[in-house]
Amino acid sequence: MRSMRVLMISDVFFPRINGVATSIESFRQALAAEGITISLIAPAYPKPHLDDEHIFRVPAHRVPFDPEDRLMLPWRLRQALKRAPAVDLVHVQTPFAAHYAGLSHARRHGLPCIATYHTHFEEYLHNYLPALPQGALRAFARRLARRQCNALDAVVVPSQAMHETLRSYGVTAPLHRVPTGIPVEHFSTGCRTGSAGFRARFAIPATAPVALFVGRTAHEKNIGFLLDAMPHALERRPELILVIAGEGPALPALQRQAAALGITRNVRFVGYLDRRSELPACYAAADVFVFASRTETQGLVLLEAMAAGLPVLAFSALGTREIVEPRRGALPAPQEAPAFGTTLAALIDDPQRREAMGRAARSFANEWTTTACARRLAEVYRTVLETRRVADKAIVTIPS
């Protein structure tokens, strides 16, 4: 197995918590077993985070109206790229400063450049720019995605739905479907340990059924829909508790919504939970995992919940479709709040069905391991490098 060096560049990474950061770290660790060394350039944040020698932080300033994110200073980013180690390939993770800097660096040094298309911007830009016409924002997102992707040697997509979406935009660059894997063993081994402590910590009665959402409390996650569905579920199961684990810009609005619906006593906003030390116990304390986002390009938290043996009730939309539609531990959810609530209550009322779904969920999650997905990404790297080598050789051998 030939060793390889890859430079990843991202506009976001830990301690900022989101799916992109999780994906980068998962692949960064697992690719080492494939003989691939990853160097990462990412923004510096005010909150400290434990880095290793392969992570290079770039000074960044706050993004207006977005307290969670940072924009890398252009001249400091250029300096970081000049100091970056020699690599075989550049892998861009986000379509902002990282995309343009990464592509420029790759072209300057004659390197192939690929990107992962993590986020379906068309579906959620209007949440952050509500004053602009939604149709114009969608058209802009499509044009930008087409232009950026077609400038690359290849694009990695986490799901078949995103493959089809980019093709519909007019993207002609090679597309490779590589989902982000999960450390299945972390959520499945001894996951029931600590569930009683988790319930006690957040004043959840030992016998109360729990529906769980895990993810950023952001507008595009459609968590408000879950709150709207709760009164309908409570008509049948008044002791039901909805746990919302995550932080983000929509949290204050969600807390106000719960109060307006009169369900505050049945909702627990538990904040961000560390994936290693706290989240497994949270999954273990739940009875059903619920998810209503329509914009996911994959849906890692669904797989984490399934690895923990939780039945999943979720929208079958975009990237989550590949996880939900096989119905191996997951149930496609109605997209109307009353029907969602009724379905959730019925699932809570059927422990035998939940147990059978939990067994199927574990089996399904075992097919999405970090190791297997890293192996697929390593193959993409080798394919792109070989394609570039053949193309370069053809150019050299063309007779004058």
Statement to judge: residues 290 and 305 lie in one domain = yes
Residues 225 and 161 in one domain: no
213: buried, middle or exposed (CB in 10 Å: 19+, 13-18, 0-12)?
buried
Q: Residue 331's pLDDT is what?
A: 98
Distance of alpha carbon 337 from alpha carbon 334, whole angstroms: 8
Based on the domain organization, do 235 and 159 belong to the same domain? Answer: no
Q: Which domain holds residue 124?
A: 4-181+369-397
Q: Which residue did the predictor score with more confidence, 64 or 230?
A: 230
pLDDT of 276: 85
Average pLDDT (186-202) is 79
Burial class of residue 67 in the structure, from the number of CB atoms within 10 Å of its CB (0-12 exposed, 13-18 middle, 19+ buried):
exposed
230 versus 392: the higher-pLDDT residue is 230
How far, in whole angstroms, is CA 168 from its chain's centroid? Answer: 22
> Which two tokens mark 216?
């950023």
CATH code at position 143: 3.40.50.2000
CA distances from 326 to 7, 129, 344 (A): 36, 35, 19
Beta-bridge partners for 113? 90
DSSP string, 139-208: HHHHHHHHHHHHTSSEEEESSHHHHHHHHHHT--S-EEE-PPPB-HHHHHTTTTTTHHHHHHHTT--TTS
Residue 41 has pLDDT above 60, yes or no: yes
Whether the link from the prior residue into 15 is cis, omega within 30° of 0, is yes
Whether residues 253 and 330 share a domain: the answer is yes
pLDDT beyond 60 at 1: no
* pLDDT reported for residue 356: 98
Q: List Cβ neighbours of 175 (8 Å cut-off, separation of 6 or more).
A: 154, 155, 156, 157, 163, 166, 167
Q: Are residues 331 and 348 in the same domain?
A: yes
DSSP designation for 235: T
SS3 call for 8? strand
Task: Specify the pLDDT at position 258.
Answer: 98
253 or 194, which is more confident? 253
Asked if residues 162 and 297 have their Cβ atoms less than 8 Å apart, the reply is yes
Q: Report which of residues 219 and 188 the model is more confident about.
A: 219
Position 271 scores a pLDDT of: 96
| CA distance to 13, 41, 57, 114, 190, per residue, from 79 (Å) | 19, 11, 11, 21, 46
DSSP three-state, residue 332: strand
From CA 280, how far away is CA 285, in angstroms rounded? 9
Same-domain check for residues 329 and 318: yes
What is the rounded radius of gyration, in angstroms, for the C-alpha atoms of the chain? 22
Strands 154-157 and 55-58: unpaired
Please tell me the total count of domains within the chain: 2
Contact in structure between 152 and 114 (CB atoms under 8 Å) = yes
**Please, what sign has the CA dihedral across residues 236, 240, 246, 252?**
positive
Query: What is the pLDDT at residue 167?
Result: 98
> Residues 282, 196: one domain?
yes
Contacts of 364 (CB under 8 A, 6+ apart): 306, 323, 326, 328, 329, 330
Lowest mean pLDDT among 64-78, 142-156, 167-181, 239-253: 64-78
**70 and 216 inside one domain:** no
- Does residue 74 share a domain with residue 29? yes
Q: Are residues 126 and 236 in the same domain?
A: no
Answer whether residue 290 shows pLDDT above 70.
yes
My answer on whether 150 and 188 are in the same domain is no
pLDDT digits (tens, 9 = 90+) for 81-137: 999 999 999 999 999 999 999 999 999 999 999 999 998 888 766 566 666 778 888
Q: Supply the pLDDT for residue 187.
A: 87
- The reply to whether 303 and 393 lie within a common domain is no
| pLDDT of 33 above 70 | yes
